[in-house]
Chain A
């Protein structure tokens, strides 16, 4: 398991370095074959990681809201702060211990597999399109894959931040060297904008680590330790708010949350297809992933008081505004880029519902958006490879010429607009229903985006694929226009199959992320009004009993005081909804009391 985890990081990294070293003498053909082999190996490794993951012991008692289910840690260095501070009482304390922690939990596992899958598609779609300096291009792509893997595996802040920033470098070169006509401007803007945001995040992270170390945490950069500390000794509200705001700035730029999104359409339009696929498919998820990993578990108070209104309003604004902007675009790629703004709005909306339905929906939405938007960019790339234009005004009725591509396009469009039965719906539904429970008005406004989403995507389909055939003039020397080739089919069909699979049976995926989502949500149970708290906990415990995820926690290790003495009294209130809940779960109160350690023992 450990070696598998590290090989996921080092296989693409080593392949990228080899390609860089050999860039002077490797031909285009050799480079792309080598890159394909490396990315396929990584994909297989990630799949076998998923397989191993199923055999992991399914989570004992949770010590912390963020906890890898398998971790490797490497000691980095010790810092004995007692040396510089001889007078303090901490002289006898343990030295500060900085180490690298790689790990994997359900959420990161799904994103790791997504990254590996999209990289393979990225290599395949660049097969013919990238002729110039191919070796360097594939090196950048694999480097990007390695960096993304690193972010998802990182369970300490140093690794997280380093990989988080490092993803910028390969993508900067991909846009800047292999991009469209305005590639330099786009690359620099992309880099500076996201970098500027990340610097604020760094400031926040450093203050957080300083605060933790001065509070006596021996490993102040380890996320599980920090999260546990934050639960047991919540930070002062004003500190939480300040740190939350600072840390989320970088993530908000990355997501991108309205109004920090303007780098995105430009970067997408100028990026080569593989770059767009990785950017939309995985890179944007770093923002939401960061919010979920760091902001949600560490700053519960700030998320509740500032986070919910701020993020939900921005997310709703992003959904509606992004949809409207998409409606006005004439460039298919830009349209899809703006649709990303709207879709990630749903994701943020789900995360900041701060309940299991919402957060599960948010995580699912990350994966769904990666799949469907990744596939859309692949398809747009296929059209562009054939016609060298993406303008709706230059294209029309392509379904007559490219029936298979059109069929897949319609399929992926349906997934993207959240047709039930395909993946998009499950994520959107859970996100919205979660938010509806917290603040109905945001969910209602978000749902309006569903109508707009159908409108702009179907308008695009109507203009590009239906109606009279209308294609740009075709040069004599060029090969004739062909429908989907085998190589393209291999790039896009697995993604489509996954869309269908997740839509029909989201169960396994939800099962994988459930323990990690529940662990984060448990932080927020303390903030619920008492009657809902009981209900929420009972619901989760029920799930746990059914699936044996939560083992009965030994007393003293549970990190949240359970209000079991109050449970029976509140459950007997004559509230119809609660009555109903009780009728449905006859054994719930018994199981709840059995599972919860009494508050006094803690």
Chain B
């Protein structure tokens, strides 16, 4: 492919959604109105086509025997001052191309769905403008050639997320959730930014090619200053934890469900939240040199996966169940990312597993959210699963597609989630037999297995409660709930197909792994075969989970209540999200508010009073001469006489220290 065409194709991927966003924002509210989705559809379609051209015919040209030469489309010099030279360029390698193929395809399908879902909303144009802007930022993030550009668009997707969570800004809860998402993410960004500073002072560059591409230099640095590498990794991890909602910064994601459901599907399930995983995967060459950082990554993933799954067990808001399952699945990806502590080859496998799960998860989680959106659409925006049930006859398409997604998420054999989750089990199992922190990874493995069981259980709990049992509708839904219109059903069907087959298609054929191995910085690794033992373990877990859910929610529906009473405090802890929000409120927010109030009082009461006090000193001093000028005649007379006396004495030479 000629170079200028390559250049054009690569730049079209981000530019098309940007142009769509600008057109929608300027023309939308006045001109396009009900047709505001058209620029977005068109822009995303162009981006998707270009992304697949990139995936199949541009990036593979750079593949060589070992690794790859990334394709770079140059842009312009952004900041150039004091030895810092940051450019805005596009750089694509295997990892970026895979990511992009997922991001653009899923966002196109969600955009099509959203046109039906958001129909008639007063902010229709605003929605699609922000939506396109998000896709632009996400593409630029994935195509970033340097840490700083990645950070820029990392914040950019954060902004779009803020705008879209707070889309229905009249709801106070939406406005609060938007702020919470942004601020919690900023805590992560704090670490990311300092990590960038540290990378810059260490490597004198922020380019991936310079920092990550030079293995010898990294090895030398790791030998000389292992602490510094670990510090950089941990700081980057902090950033990733914010964006990918890892414990303890996961609190923003469930609240983000205040946004419109397509937004939850795209941003808060499929794409943006995986940016943290992408960052850590990107930095694998750095993490290889710090087993400590890797084990921290795994542990954080394990803790996140477990607590999110525990919370998801008892939630009654369908979208929140899905949100916690997202947090939990992101935890799985982090578990896998950290499991490369055994060596370079293990790291390649670990990264592949994490990226694979990211890829399949994007499809089935987007599907689940859109199906939940379809339920909401039919139920008159009611999402509490206690208020409806037995929807499988009224909403057949939604039911079947949701089932596909749920089965894929639970890890039912041969579906997408099964393959990718199995890979994760394999790498963690492998790490548990490694030299570095083997015992820790043993625990991680046990947690992963237990969480997989919980995943199957809570997913099917939500499914059974929604679609089985007696048919009940809330009054908001009217008498006859309407199934999704074609514009919504089409994307659901396509995503359901992906959720079913895509894991087997790209995973089983080894295509995914081969492609990813060509990412810059990943070591060459041999395909490892499927392990029947682990597979049978995961099949057993899934069967137990689904069976338990069926028993509790279909066979004997009175059982859950009894269990809840029996478990008492544990049940309430789970229902109240393990009290994380309250914990942060009392430990962080309230004290900071108090300190802020104190600072404000200190400012008025102490600092400013001191200033005013100093300003009073001249007035106090002026009291002394004022006493002489008080208008009291005897005083004047006294002074006059005293002065006269002094003059006399002086003239007579009787005062000491006279002249000469």
**Residues of chain A whose beta carbon lies under 8 Å from any beta carbon of chain B:** 189, 192-193, 259, 262-263, 265, 321, 324-325, 327-329, 355-361, 397, 399-400, 410, 414, 419-421, 425-426, 429-430, 432-434, 436-437, 440, 443-444, 447-448, 450-451, 454-455, 458-459, 461-462, 465-469, 505-507, 510, 514, 517, 521, 536, 539-540, 543, 576-577, 579-581, 584
Contact (Cβ within 8 A) A419 B155:
yes
Which residues from chain A contact B563 at a C-beta distance below 8 Å?
none
Partner of A433, one of B163, B197, B224, B600: B197
The answer to whether A325 and B600 touch across the interface, beta carbons within 8 angstroms, is yes
B641 in the interface (beta carbon within 8 A)? no
Report the minimal beta-carbon distance from B136 to chain A, rounded to whole angstroms. 11
B536 CB–A CB distance under 8 Å:
no
Of the candidates A397, A419, A521, the one whose C-beta lies within 8 Å of that of B170 is: A397
B203 contact from A263, A514, A521, A577, Cβ within 8 A:
A577
Contact A447 to B193, CB < 8 A, known contacts A433-B200, A543-B80: yes
Q: Of B155, B169, B201, which is within 8 A of A437 by CB?
A: B201
Identify which of A263, A329, A420, A517 contacts B151 (C-beta below 8 A). Answer: A420
Q: A444-B194, A448-B190, A469-B170 are in contact. List 12 more A-B contacts (CB 8 A).
A: A262-B607, A420-B153, A426-B79, A429-B193, A436-B201, A450-B189, A454-B183, A459-B179, A507-B80, A576-B221, A577-B203, A584-B205
Pull 15 A–B residue pairs with CB atoms less than 8 Å apart, ordered by A: A265-B603, A324-B592, A325-B596, A356-B83, A429-B148, A430-B79, A433-B84, A433-B197, A450-B190, A451-B189, A454-B186, A458-B182, A458-B183, A580-B203, A580-B205
- Which residue of chain A is the closest to B608 with respect to CB atoms? A262
Quick check: is B202 within 8 A (CB to CB) of the other chain? yes
1/0 per position for B21-62, CB-CB distance to A under 8 A? Answer: 000000000000000000000000000000000000000000
Asked if A580 contacts B204 (CB within 8 A), the reply is yes
Q: Are the CB atoms of B159 and A414 closer together than 8 Å?
A: yes
* Residue of chain B at shortest CB distance from A465: B169
Decide: A467 near B169, CB < 8 A? Known: A421-B156, A451-B186, A507-B78. yes
Is the beta-carbon distance between A462 and B81 smaller than 8 angstroms?
no
Q: Please, which residues of chain B bring their CB within 8 A of the CB of A434? A: 82
Q: Which residues of A contact B78 (CB under 8 A)?
A: 505-507
Is the beta-carbon distance between A454 and B182 smaller than 8 angstroms? Answer: yes
Asked if A451 contacts B210 (CB within 8 A), the reply is no
Which of B162, B176, B182, B599 interacts with A321 by CB under 8 Å?
Answer: B599
Given the complex of chains A and B, what is the CA–CA distance between A399 and B170 in angstroms? Answer: 8
Closest-by-CB residue of B relative to A263 is B611
A357 touches B197 (CB 8 A): no
Q: Are A462 and B603 in contact (CB under 8 A)?
A: no
Contacts of A539 in B (CB 8 A): 82-83
List the 7 shortest-distance A-B pairs measured between CB atoms, nearest first: A357-B82, A356-B82, A466-B175, A420-B152, A328-B600, A539-B83, A327-B596
Asked if B597 is at the interface of the complex by the 8 Å CB criterion, the answer is yes
Q: State how many angstroms separate the Cβ of A402 from the closest Cβ of chain B.
A: 12
B77 touches A (CB below 8 Å)? yes
Which residues of B (296-325) have their CB < 8 Å from a CB of A?
A: none
Beta-carbon contacts of B497-536 to A below 8 Å, as 1s and 0s?
0000000000000000000000000000000000000000
Name the CB-closest residue of B to A357: B82
Measured between beta carbons, the chain A residues less than 8 angstroms from B603 are 262, 265, 321, 325
Q: Which of B79, B152, B162, B595 touches A421 (beta carbons < 8 Å)?
A: B152
Of A259, A361, A397, the residue contacting B607 (CB under 8 A) is A259
Nearest Cβ distance between residue A254 and chain B, in whole angstroms? Answer: 15
The answer to whether A324 touches B203 (Cβ under 8 A) is no
CA distance A589 to B25 in the complex (A): 51
Task: Tell me, rounded to whole Å, the shortest Cβ–Cβ distance linking B275 to chain A.
Answer: 14
Does B658 reach chain A (CB closer than 8 Å)?
no
* Least CB distance, A338 to chain B, in whole angstroms: 8
**Are B611's CB and A429's CB within 8 A?**
no
Contact between A507 and B202, CB atoms less than 8 A apart = no
Contact with A along B114-157 (1 / 0, CB 8 A): 00000000000000000000000000000000001001110110
Instruction: Report Cα–Cα, A444/B200, bound state, in Å.
Output: 14
0/1 string, B201-236, CB within 8 A of A gives 1: 111110000100010010011001000000000000
Cα distance, A425 to B196, chains bound together (Å): 14
Q: Are B210 and A510 in contact (CB under 8 A)?
A: no
**Shortest Cβ gap from B594 to chain A (Å):** 9
What's the least CB distance linking A602 to chain B, in Å? 25
The residue on B at minimum CB distance from A329 is B600
Kindly list chain B residues whose C-beta atoms are within 8 Å of the C-beta of A263. 611
Can you name the residue of chain B whose Cβ is closest to the Cβ of A511?
Answer: B80
Seen from chain B, the residues whose Cβ lies within 8 Å of a Cβ on chain A are 76-84, 148, 151-153, 155-156, 159, 162-163, 166, 169-172, 174-176, 178-179, 182-183, 186-187, 189-190, 193-194, 197-198, 200-205, 210, 214, 217, 220-221, 224, 592-593, 595-597, 599-600, 603, 607-608, 611, 615
- Given A430-B79, A469-B170, A324-B595 contact (CB < 8 Å): yes
Known: A325-B603, A451-B183. A262 touches B82 (CB 8 A): no
Q: B555 → chain A, closest Cβ, in Å?
A: 45
- A383 CA / B204 CA spacing, docked (Å): 46
| Residue picked from A400, A461, A466, most chain B C-beta under 10 Å | A466
B residues within 8 A CB of A505? 76, 78
A255→B600 CA distance, assembly (Å): 19
* Residue from the list B148, B197, B611 in contact with A262, Cβ < 8 A: B611
Q: Flag if A440 contacts B187 (CB, 8 Å).
A: no
Q: Contacting A193 at CB < 8 Å: which of B174, B186, B205, B611? A: B611
Q: B596 to A466, Cβ gap below 8 A?
A: no
Residue from the set B176, B190, B197, B202 with the largest chain A CB neighbour count within 10 Å: B197
Residues of A within 8 A of B204 (CB): 577, 580-581, 584
Report chain B residues within 8 Å CB of A440.
Answer: 197, 201
What A residues does B155 contact at CB under 8 A?
419-421, 425
List residues of chain A with CB within 8 A of the CB of B162: 458
Residues of A contacting B607 with CB < 8 Å?
259, 262
Which A residues touch B151, using CB under 8 A? 420
Q: Could you tell me if A450 and B183 are in contact, using CB atoms closer than 8 angstroms?
A: no
Is the beta-carbon distance between B80 and A577 smaller than 8 angstroms? no
Contact in complex: B596, A324 (CB < 8 Å)? yes
Q: Is the CB of A458 within 8 A of B82?
A: no
By beta carbon, the residue of chain A nearest B211 is: A580
Q: How far is the CA of A126 from the CA of B328 in the complex (A)?
A: 55
Tell me the nearest residue of chain B to A538, going by C-beta.
B83
A579 and B224 CA atoms in complex are apart in Å by 15
**How close is A355's CB to chain B, nearest CB, in angstroms?**
6
A450 CA to B599 CA, complexed, in Å: 18
Contact B159 A436 (CB under 8 A): no
- For B596, the chain A residues whose CB sits under 8 A away are 324-325, 327-328
CB atoms of A328 and B597 under 8 A apart = yes
- How far does the alpha carbon of A328 sit from the alpha carbon of B603 in the complex, in Å? 11
Q: Are A580 and B197 in contact (CB under 8 A)?
A: no
Q: Taking each of B76, B84, B148, B152, which has the highest tally of chain A beta carbons within 10 Å of its own beta carbon?
A: B84
Bound-state CA distance A454–B189 (Å) is: 11
A residues less than 8 Å from B201 (CB atoms) = 436-437, 440
Residues of B within 8 A of A580 (CB): 203-205, 210, 214, 217
Question: B82 contacts A429, CB within 8 Å?
Answer: no
Residues of A within 8 A of B220 (CB): 576
| Contact call B600/A357, Cβ cutoff below 8 A | no
Given contacts A192-B615, A328-B599, A576-B221, contact A400 B170 (CB under 8 A): yes
Chain B residues lying within 8 Å of A543, measured Cβ to Cβ, are 80
> Smallest CB–CB gap between B638 and chain A, Å?
36
- Interchain nearest-CB distance for B81 vs A (Å): 4
The answer to whether A430 and B176 touch across the interface, beta carbons within 8 angstroms, is: no
Chain B residues contacting A361 (CB-CB under 8 Å) are 81
Tell me which of A327, A410, A436, A507 contacts B592 (CB under 8 A). A327
Q: How far is the CA of A328 from the CA of B598 in the complex (A)?
A: 9
CB contact between B81 and one of A328, A430, A465, A584 (< 8 Å): that residue: A430
Given A447-B193, A469-B170, A506 and B82 contact (CB-CB distance below 8 Å): no
CA distance A517 to B608 in the complex (A): 36
A-side contacts of B190, CB under 8 Å: 447-448, 450-451
